[in-house]
Amino acid sequence: MISAGDFKNGITLEIDGNVCQIVEFQHVKPGKGAAFVRTKYKNIITGSVLEKSFRPTEKFPAARIDRVDMSYLYNDGEFYNFMNNETFDQVALTKDQVGDSLKFVKENEIVKICSHNGNVFAIEPPLFVELEVTETEPGFAGNTAQGATKPAIVETGAQVMVPLFVNQGDKLKIDTRTGEYLSRV
């Protein structure tokens, strides 16, 4: 059990039956009345962020989040299939469970599958990936003052904004959190 007085950013606990992560907290001691903890927390399953105040003595059970490294095997049209590299167990997830977290992930790459009590709620791709540009228009020198970009389609089918000097066939380093181009490889 974790009391509200012991909150720290990033801890995961169960509030009102939901799995939540503390985003921000502040201990408030007003001149008149009892102290309280003003908290901003995120519901991990739905992604909604809520603000609520708690008494410092309120207690909440800690939520155990399992993060397992798994290989993304393939998409068969209906399910996305993953395999645990240690136990060789396979898991099939629906499009709703996956969302757009595999936008920059190729087959056979390692991702983290996050679950609570056996229910998968998130897939964490690697922070940076290297992908090849499959389609982009040629850039022309001199048609911009500075920092112009153009759209490019990478091998996973995702679209990334890249500088004009990037050509079809180039390998790019991409940040999967923001979807931004970082550099050529």
| DSSP-assigned letters across all residues of 158-178 | -EEEEETT--TT-EEEEETTT
Q: In the chain, what are the domain boundaries?
A: 2-60, 66-124, 129-184
pLDDT band at 144 (very low <50, low <70, confident <90, very high): low
* Whole-number Å distance between alpha carbons of 65 and 124: 13
Torsions phi, psi of 71, nearest 5?
A: -90, 135
pLDDT at 64: 84
Q: Are 172 and 135 in contact (CB under 8 A)?
A: no
Q: Quick check: do 2-60 and 129-184 share a fold?
A: no
pLDDT at 141: 61
pLDDT at 52: 92
pLDDT at 145: 60
pLDDT score of 51 more than 90: yes
Record: fold of 2-60: SH3 type barrels. (2.30.30)
Q: Which CATH number fits domain 66-124: 3.40.50.920, 2.40.50.140, 3.40.1800.10, 2.60.260.20?
A: 2.40.50.140
Structure tokens at 44: 């991990």
pLDDT band at 59 (very low <50, low <70, confident <90, very high): very high
Give the CATH class of 129-184.
mainly beta
pLDDT at 119: 80
pLDDT at 12: 87
What's the gap between Cα 153 and its chain centre? 21
pLDDT at 142: 59
